[in-house]
Structure 1
């Protein structure tokens, strides 16, 4: 029976014991040759095991796969062009973090990889313990402990080579690492263009080509220039990337790529892979992490940071928020004075200025919150939060890497569920990924933040920081509970090991924070000027038409005239401003009743009233019904719709007060009703754009499940909260 053949390349950094292990494996079968056109020696040998002929080639020692030296070029070309069935990466286990840097690059290429942890005898003598099995699980590649100088571990290493070759059958699967908010978007654009043009894809993985361009790899760039005109476009993107990183981080793309690779390795080693002597040799980031990621101090610090963010937001933001609200009130006064009474005045003042103005009023708060979030992300703190949360996440069927999609979705208010859902693609397990995607919309995104800021200001003016803090904690609690339920039912499966990038701390530049903050705030403003404007006009129309029948209008007019006549009869001495004040006071209840009747008669009111028998179970004021329906388009619409509903028929904008003031004055908003709306807003159907994102990342079945399932769950919880609160209020 003929022997099956496996081609394996042996690689490693200089002085890692690679050649020693090669000689121990191949014995006297090794032969020396040269690589074509160069004088670098090429060693080849044969090893037989369990019916397999393993043809080994010993690559030159190299620190990376970027073409900085002839050795690196040779090693990379053998891997890329000869496409071995398995790559054996020998590692100096006494310098594990540095040695794994090359392994990560092999994983990015997609080569089937086996790790040989050499010098394990020295590791043991130094009092250090390396959990080889855990390292293998976390990286997702087989590993074997070795001591090359005495040939120990060679049989185990080659057994793993055979096993991996049988499992992969020559199939390469590149991993996808994140390189941070500055490079990831540019990297995605480059990868997409390379895929579209099939640019050098016959030889390289598209994303790997993009990374090499960002690293300034001369050989790849020169090959790209020869391959076609797309190279010029990619080089322009590289210049854009360098400009961004120079401005935001005062560094270069290749330095950031190296940082995030080491961050990935650092995050892996923090999972208990290494214990004992060497783990006590800490760098600057490690010293900080002893406090920041401490079992007790870390979570307390995290909660303190979250509370401080809300305190700063409400304290600093109150002043510019008041200025913007005053500005829109003045604009409403101007519109009332200039425009003749009628539909146009109502549309402009109540629909456009009232709706869009209510959303824009919260821009200062959003800006402050975004700025703090961007600072923490660029600092490297958010990665530590993910690391701390891993053990908690596991209990509820999620993954430590789920934290980043959840934070992006609004785990710290100000995010957006769309990039959060897309970010979940970094999770290896389809089940953990799906559970993350389905629960990410529960977080307090920037759109929900606007609504909560309004509601908190209206109903918890004495402690807005504490109220928002509890809202965010509630969001996290619901995510964990629902994830656990999902993982017990519709998305069952085992949890996967946790590995993520933990980048070094880097103090963000003012310019970088400013640019990233402005990008998010500008998206918010654009939404207010486009989607919110359009929906505000639609909502104004559905809350205006059809109008009250003429006979009912005449009946209200008669009541107003009767009220005025009665005031004059009861106060014959009153004149001027005193008489006007008395007449206005008598007419106010009738005017309010007429405005409410008009709203209820309009299409919006009819929809709200139609739903009322059901939503009464949760205590929703009827105005909230139509606002919550409109918010399916975009959650900010809840604010603009409420603003329109509570400004319809407003006579004097100067006396109207803020939307929060008007809500607080409505007796329908009892504390149980407020809490019910709070929780329903948190949990119910994602906005339309998020639903589409879920469909793209999963499929339409899960997207529709997120709509129907979250709606039903939100309503059940809201009913429970409403009736539970009524027992105590």
Structure 2
């Protein structure tokens, strides 16, 4: 029979790194809390009978956030055979709080003190055997990053799994221990013996997730009330205080700090990068460099090679001319003498559409390398800390920025990462705004517009990122002043990990996983989409007969596009090709580029070798192109991300409100960009200019109107109705 071992620990304690070491999994590790938002499973290397479950990083088993709910429900209901509790050796006191709760579950537990290599560098000493004696479970030293001691800890957990239950060392005050024992007796057979202590403590804390048991045990309330009177404090505070007294006693005996008082390298770096005045400019410069290198220099060179060579006429290698994929496919089709319509489908539909998207893979891979490095080295955790200062001013915490950081790769895990936010209102607002950040699927659109309309200008790609940041901030300020989202932001507690050079394998793994996800989408969703686009654009009704058309403007897609193009005329791109591209982008954002690849053909269109991008440039002005870019960055995300929003909202009305808000907000911003831009560049004043001015005025009013919720409080006086003050 198989054995299940659960990995449990604080966020950023090294759980997922340990999970990778034990299972060989390709799960990527981000160096900030919130990367793992649901349990993941893998088989132990060398022993397929042992399943390792990686639970979300949590600070306690008092479920304030969805990730804590996932972890607690799993431990209580799934009942793993053993728990491997990962402890950050550089922050013992904080991590041991969760350890005390895990031991109360009655599940055999082994503790693994991680990051011992860092502990040794600082000159600190941890008495492992004394810690084991004090805490009441086996304790092992490990370094998950360097793969030291991990298998020994896993073997100890396997051995512990044969135990029937975990013996708990009593550590609450004698009075509280007596009260917990009394509550345990009152539970009778309603709770399994192994969980009685845990449930009794939760009842003592008045945990609302277990409080329904109180209805059948009236004596529990009397016990709790008596202890509260005796201690002159509320029940939860009594338990918390006792826990920390116990933890402080342990750490004072087992931890010997190094004598050096010098600032660490991380502290010195943080004095600069988290400085009140320098932090944001440094962040802006870092992101500008990331996008500049990814889109305008190294990434651009590689993409030009892919577009002109691999998916174009070909390239030269060591003096040999190697034909591109369209040429090779075209020659093969000619040799096979296939029907013209099939040749058009394969060359213009599949190769043209999918090739137009895959041509941007080099830029995407370069971007993902930079993002993986920033995540792994520890800088992105500082960004969350920095953004907390800004976000808190409009009612959100830095926790809301973590999903947005994750969303730079893909919006779906970003939306799922909102589970780390305990406040329901903040969580919903984060879900609504996370996809404003450009994800990997939007990068081809950014690169296309930057290259075709702005001659590769270095400011276009970074500006797209900061348009997303600006949209989040503006939305946050506006929404937080409504009754639906009013309230104080959730507290933001996070340890800043020490800076370190990430392993090259981790960075490349992250790049490949995100890039491969993009490529798979090109081979499935985008492939089907481009086939549909080719068919509907090349077939239509002419003179009352349905068949293949010579002019794409006579096709079914053109008819559909002309039916909706009027909606986008005020935004500056009211032709049917752009309208269709924007709509197909709802299926997958990469489809915007794939649609243009089909509609403007991928083959050469002039004797000078002018290709699709130059042809596209003739359909837009600089203003209308940037308006098109802004709309596609901010409007409702792809269908898969919409599905994630629907699941996380768990409410149809909230889902439609979120998608409607995103689309309306994108339309309003895009309208202002084009109309006001035209007005300031001599385009003349029109009725739409007036509408754009009114929209800006409305934005300003919503941003600066008084925040009534912040200045009005309600008090309840006995015998008198509630009164606002």
1:631 to 2:588 alignment: no
Choose the corresponding residue for 1:398, options 389, 396, 399. 396
**Alpha-carbon distance between aligned partners in 1 of 2:471 and 2:101, rounded to the nearest angstrom:** 36
Equivalent residue for 1:721, pick from 662, 673, 681: 673
Q: How many residues align?
A: 446
Check 1:510–1:659 CA distance in 2 against 1; reply closer, same or farther (3 A cut).
Answer: same
User: Superposition pairs for residues 142-161 of structure 1, below 5 Å?
Assistant: none
- Identify which of 136, 141, 159 aligns with 1:222: 159
How far apart are the structure 2 equivalents of 1:279 and 1:615? 65
Q: SS of the residue aligned with 1:546?
A: strand
Where do residues 28-67 of structure 1 align in structure 2 (5 Å cutoff)?
Answer: none
Q: How far apart are the structure 1 equivalents of 2:407 and 2:102?
A: 27
Is structure 2 residue 670 aligned with structure 1 residue 677? no
Q: 2:537–2:552: 8 Å Cα contact kept in structure 1?
A: yes
Distance 1:366 1:629 in 2: 23
Please point out which of 520, 525, 530 is paired with 1:531.
Answer: 525
Deviation for aligned residue 1:500? 1.9
CA distance in structure 2 between the partners assigned to 1:292 and 1:656 by the alignment: 47
The answer to whether the 8 A contact 2:539-2:547 is kept is: no
For 1:455, the equivalent position in structure 2 comes to 449
Aligned residue for 2:680, secondary structure, equals coil
Q: Which runs of 5+ in 1 are unaligned?
A: 1-63, 66-79, 82-94, 112-178, 181-203, 205-210, 229-264, 266-277, 555-593
Aligned twin of 1:487: 480
Q: Is the Cα contact below 8 Å between 1:407 and 1:420 reproduced in 2?
A: yes
Rg: which structure is higher? 1
Larger helix share, 1 or 2: 1
Q: Distance in 2 between matches of 1:280 and 1:487?
A: 44
Query: Structure 2 vs 1, CA of residues 97 and 327 (structure 1 numbering), >3 Å: closer, same or farther?
Result: closer
**2:301 alignment counterpart:** 319
Cα drift, residue 505 of structure 1 = 1.2
Distance verdict in 2 for CA 1:406–1:656, change over 3 Å: same
Give the corresponding residue for 1:283.
264
Task: Determine the C-alpha separation between the residues in 1 that align with 2:278 and 2:401.
Answer: 19
CA contact (8 A) 1:335 1:345 kept: no
User: What is the CA–CA distance in structure 1 between the aligned matches of 2:661 and 2:152, rounded to whole Å?
Assistant: 45
TM-aligned CA deviation for residue 492 of structure 1: 1.9
Distance 2:583 2:343 in 1: 25
Q: Report the counterpart of residue 562 of structure 2 in structure 1.
A: 609
Q: Does 1:386 align with 2:384?
A: yes
TM-score, length of structure 2 as denominator length: 0.57
CA distance in 2, matches of 1:372, 1:288: 19
Matched with 1:328 is: 311
- Which deviations, in whole Å up to 9, do the C-alpha atoms of 1:213-247 show, x marking residues without a partner? 9993766533435689xxxxxxxxxxxxxxxxxxx
Q: Is the 8 A contact 1:544 1:599 kept in 2?
A: yes
1:659 aligns with 2:657: no
Cα deviation, residue 106, structure 1: 3.9
State the 1:683 CA deviation. 1.3
Q: Alpha-carbon deviation of 1:653?
A: 8.8
Residue matched to 1:497: 491
- Mapping of 1:427-438 within 5 angstroms? 427-438=421-432
2:95 aligns to what? 101
What SS is found at the alignment partner of 1:543? helix
- SS of 2:465's partner is helix
Ranges in structure 2 where 5+ consecutive residues have no aligned partner: 1-58, 61-74, 77-88, 106-113, 116-136, 138-143, 166-246, 248-258, 313-323, 682-725
Contact kept, 8 Å, 1:646 with 1:662, in 2: the verdict is yes
Separation of aligned partners in 2, 1:110 and 1:505:
34
Cα distance change on mapping 1:280 and 1:545 into 2, 3 Å: farther
Alignment pair present for 1:508 and 2:516: no
SS in 2 for 1:216: helix
How far off is 1:715 after superposition? 1.6
Task: Kindly report the root-mean-square deviation, in angstroms, between the aligned alpha carbons of the 2 structures.
Answer: 3.6
1:510 & 1:603 partners in 2: Cα distance?
A: 50
Counterpart residue number, 1:691:
642
Whether the 8 Å contact between 1:600 and 1:609 is mirrored in structure 2 is no
Q: Determine if the alignment matches structure 1 residue 294 to structure 2 residue 281.
A: no
Partner secondary structure for residue 499 of structure 2: coil
Q: Distance in 1 between matches of 2:369 and 2:98?
A: 33
* SS of match in other structure, 1:506: coil
- CA separation in 2, counterparts of 1:505 and 1:359? 36
Q: CA offset at residue 522 of structure 1?
A: 1.1
* Residues 534-549 of structure 1 aligned to structure 2 (within 5 Å): 534-546=528-540, 548-549=542-543
Q: Cα distance 1:301–1:651, how it changes in 2: closer, same or farther (>3 A)?
A: closer
Cα pair 1:380 1:503 within 8 Å, conserved: yes
Go from structure 1 to structure 2 and tell me whether the alpha carbon gap of 1:657 and 1:284 turns closer, same or farther (over 3 Å shift). same
Q: CA deviation at 1:400?
A: 0.7
Residue equivalent to 1:185: none
Choose the corresponding residue for 1:712, options 664, 673, 680. Answer: 664
Decide whether aligned partners of structure 1 residues 497 and 327 sit closer, same or farther in structure 2, where only a CA change above 3 A counts: same
Aligned counterpart for 1:599 among listed residues 552, 577, 582: 552
TM-fit CA distance, 1:531: 1.3
Matches of 2:104 and 2:442, distance apart in 1: 40
SS at structure 1 position matched to 2:374? helix
Judge conservation of contact 1:213–1:220 (CA < 8 Å) in 2: no
Contact 1:447 1:635 in 2 (8 A): yes
CA distance in 1, matches of 2:562, 2:260: 65
**What SS does the aligned partner of 2:496 have?**
coil
Distance 1:728 1:279, change over 3 A: farther
- Whole-angstrom CA distance in 2 between matches of 1:652 and 1:517: 35
Q: C-alpha separation between the residues in 2 aligned to 1:452 and 1:688?
A: 20
Q: CA deviation at 1:320?
A: 2.2
Deviations 1:294-317 (A, max 9, x none): 112222221111111122222112
In 1, distance between residues paired with 2:626 and 2:552? Answer: 25
Q: Does 1:366 align with 2:318?
A: no
Contact 1:320 1:364 in 2 (8 A): yes
Shift of 1:601: 2.2
Which whole-Å deviations, capped at 9, do the CAs of 1:571-608 have from their partners, x for residues lacking one?
xxxxxxxxxxxxxxxxxxxxxxx96xx32321211111
Whether contact under 8 Å (2:446, 2:460) holds in the other structure is: no
Counterpart of 1:471?
464
Is 1:418–1:690's contact at 8 Å kept on the other side of the alignment?
Answer: yes
Task: Quote the offset at 1:636 in angstroms.
Answer: 0.3
1:257-301 superposed Cα distances (whole Å, 9 cap, x missing partner): xxxxxxxx9xxxxxxxxxxxx998632321221112111222222
